Amino acid sequence: AAVSGFSAKDSLYLGTDYALNPATTAGANSADSLLELWLSEESGSALVTLESSLSGGSASPQETFAITLTGVALADIQLIEGVVSLV
């Protein structure tokens, strides 16, 4: 899914069930015991990738889905208590 026009007044609620994986590649360093999310950037847009199952990042094929924040740099977003917003 892609979100365009994401601005300072917007937020994306993901919930608190996800653990942030510090890897910059979705699926990297995935643990099978928790739901994970990855934050990365592709072609100048922030990418939020979430597992759809506990083993989603290490499954083949990966059981993940991505939300692209079109035109928003990774450095401009933050994740606090399950909410993605602009810094």
Over the stretch 5-57, which tens digit does the pLDDT of each residue have?
A: 999 999 999 999 999 999 988 888 888 888 999 999 999 999 999 999 888 88
Instruction: Extract the tokens encoding 58.
Output: 């290490």
Please report, for residues 21, 24, 71, the alpha-carbon distance to residue 63 in angstroms, rounded to integers and kept in the order given: 15, 17, 25
- pTM of the full structure: 0.89
Q: What pLDDT sits at residue 60? A: 86
Q: What pLDDT sits at residue 54? A: 86
